[in-house]
Structure 1
């Protein structure tokens, strides 16, 4: 299995590279520090598996990169690595093309199992998160079409990046620089977020971000 690892921490990339290269059936052929680098590495190296952290500030996040990579290189299977066990976030990354979801707190054996599972064409989700995902799917089915539904599903991938930065107090220019987009685009995303979630002020937006644990990302 040819593997690329994307994580914004060099020590994490080095550690995972050692673990995976120690396996007789795995070889790390490249690494990346953010989503843009991950896309470039996949385009150049065409790995079987991309192991990618979902949150890689200040560059492009794994959430945004997942959708782009899956659209352009569908043969590469993506395993999302994250600190957060949130079923709504899990639902969103799977919908955007990831084949698996592993917590950073998981033991090495689980990471290896996840990689082998998705390489063989399966989907890997930790049992605890699988149960949460099933509950979330049932919840979405029951509330489908409800005007009061305020899950992540209403937001685009880019809006999911902009929202926590607004809630953390960053200005439009700072957000634009972090995400490599224009100030005008940031303003447009902010307006769409407020409209989709029926929020009237920044305090309401901050409260929503806290409720959804977005400030931890």
Structure 2
């Protein structure tokens, strides 16, 4: 079994040490380093090549959002970033996801939840808890003054089934949950997701979820009613 390499970036030593103990006790996961701020995280990623970075949103010197943007922007970047937050209604949810984060995790997560989150984002899936997804949708509703017609171009060449899968991604469903909803094999869903990303020029499913709302292809439930 491949061991997932994790870097923990948080300005609080107790958080870093606590998460290190919890993760190192999980099979197939190894904490390879710790960073005290965003700038330190960028340097440690270059040095240690982790698969996943647990990144606090608020840190001195360089915050988690800007650090995430710098880590995920380069072409060929494979590191996944899981944002750490104290509040499940963090005001920076939308901004962090746009910066390239693969999901959010509350700092009071259990060892099991922490390990699950690392494995999910390492596998290329988004980790958006239902309450986080609801806030994301609410943010799109708030910043949009009127219903928007779907933007074609990058979305126009999606098939009906791909559009359906994109809608479910935007609702925060995993591949397994989408497969169950559509009564198809999970591998089939993975194929659809891959095609959606290629056709739309997107990096991952988190970007796909944002893209679905920003283009108006998917509209928040109840929007405009």
**TM interval, short-chain normalised:** 0.5 to 0.7
Alignment match of 1:60 (pick from 59, 62, 73): 62
Q: Distance in 1 between matches of 2:146 and 2:21?
A: 45
Is the counterpart of residue 137 in structure 1 residue 161 in structure 2? no
Aligned residues: 144
**Counterpart of 1:77?**
80
Offset at residue 74 of structure 1 (A): 2.1
TM-score, with structure 2 as normaliser = 0.59
Query: SS of the counterpart of 2:27?
Result: coil
Q: Distance in 2 between matches of 1:123 and 1:78?
A: 10
Q: Distance in 1 between matches of 2:65 and 2:118?
A: 18
Offset at residue 105 of structure 1 (A): 2.7
Unaligned runs of 5+ in 1: 146-217
Unaligned runs of 5+ in 2: 149-225
Task: Output the aligned Cα RMSD.
Answer: 1.9
TM-score, with structure 1 as normaliser = 0.61
Offset at residue 11 of structure 1 (A): 1.6
Q: Distance in 2 between matches of 1:131 and 1:16?
A: 27
Offset at residue 87 of structure 1 (A): 5.6
Return closer, same or farther for 1:86/1:144 CA change in 2, 3 Å cut-off.
farther
Alignment match of 1:5 (pick from 5, 8, 23): 8
* C-alpha contact 1:6 1:53 (8 A) present in aligned 2: yes
* C-alpha contact 2:23 2:114 (8 A) present in aligned 1: no
The equivalences for 1:1-217 within 5 A come to 1-57=4-60, 59-72=61-74, 74-86=77-89, 88-143=91-146
Offset at residue 109 of structure 1 (A): 2.3
Return closer, same or farther for 1:49/1:128 CA change in 2, 3 Å cut-off.
same
* C-alpha contact 1:83 1:104 (8 A) present in aligned 2: yes
Q: Which has the higher helix share?
A: 1
Q: Distance in 1 between matches of 2:100 and 2:147?
A: 22
**Counterpart of 1:164?**
none
